[in-house]
């Protein structure tokens, strides 16, 4: 709890002492996933042995950008509602979760709109349902959050994000994300998004 308080205080201080305008906006993203569920699916009886597959998502949300020291260095965060589906052979996992990426952005040039960023991603699962066929060809539907002790907070690393700030407060960006989970699942994720900032 103390870590969250410290991070919140640092974030508020960054806004208070920022010499540039704080930007608020709306965002829409779409993601592609490649993943391996490993032990995550082993708890379910009758699943296919192939636990790797692909997934997709769409993510409406809110965006925030806080300049830190100059126009070249800033802090960026988002609050997105992630609707995603994972598919592995005959299994489908449908989830709704909150995505909270925290990024530090660097513009190599104060003139050109191109930037690079690194950071972390926090995921808060809201709903998770697994559907598959057992050995008797029966369709099984499981409420994962209700029936199993799954993680309430997952973590991801964003080793690279690139973007372009266009005129009229429009930003295009791409994130490469490595997702980790206490349940034994991990994935590679490629996110593509567009953001509109109300304050330029």
Per-residue pLDDT, 1? 47
Q: How far apart are CA 177 and CA 49, in angstroms?
A: 26
Q: How far apart are CA 117 and CA 112, in angstroms?
A: 15
**Is 80 exceeded by the pLDDT of residue 129?**
yes
Per-residue pLDDT, 195? 95
CATH code: domain of residue 111 = 2.40.160.20
- Enter the pTM of the model: 0.77
**Is 80 exceeded by the pLDDT of residue 181?**
no
Contact of 47 with 41, CB cutoff 8 Å: yes
Per-residue pLDDT, 3? 45
Chain-centre distance for alpha carbon 25: 17
**Is 80 exceeded by the pLDDT of residue 26?**
yes
Q: How far apart are CA 40 and CA 103, in angstroms?
A: 28
Chain-centre distance for alpha carbon 167: 26
Q: Which domain holds residue 73?
A: 2-197
**Banded model confidence at residue 143, pLDDT cuts 50, 70, 90:** confident
**Is 70 exceeded by the pLDDT of residue 102?**
yes
Per-residue pLDDT, 58? 93
Longest dimension (CA), the chain: 65
Cα within 13 Å of Cα(120), Cβ side = 6
Number of domains present in the structure of the chain? 1
* Four-point Cα dihedral 111, 113, 119, 124, nearest 10: 140
Q: Which residue has the tokens 């690139």?
A: 162
Per-residue pLDDT, 153? 77
Per-residue pLDDT, 82? 94
The tokens describing 94, both together, are: 């449908």
């Amino acid at each position: 709890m103390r870590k969250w308080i410290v991070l919140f205080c640092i974030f508020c201080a960054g806004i208070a002492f920022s010499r540039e305008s704080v930007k608020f906006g709306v965002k829409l993203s779409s993601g592609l996933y490649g993943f391996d569920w490993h032990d995550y699916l082993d708890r379910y009886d009758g699943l296919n042995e192939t636990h790797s597959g692909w997934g997709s998502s769409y993510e409406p949300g809110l965006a925030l950008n806080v300049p830190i020291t100059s126009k070249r260095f800033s802090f960026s965060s988002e609050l997105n509602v992630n609707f995603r589906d994972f598919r592995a052979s005959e299994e489908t996992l449908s989830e709704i979760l909150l995505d909270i990426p925290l990024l530090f952005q660097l513009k190599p040039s104060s003139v050109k709109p191109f930037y690079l960023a690194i950071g972390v991603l926090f995921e808060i699962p809201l709903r998770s349902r697994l559907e598959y066929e057992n050995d008797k060809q029966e369709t099984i539907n499981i409420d994962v959050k209700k029936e199993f002790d799954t993680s309430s907070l997952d973590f991801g690393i964003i080793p690279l994000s690139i973007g372009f700030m266009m005129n009229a407060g429009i930003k295009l960006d791409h994130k490469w994300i490595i997702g980790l989970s206490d349940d034994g699942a991990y994935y590679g994720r490629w996110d593509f998004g567009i953001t509109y900032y109300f304050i330029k």
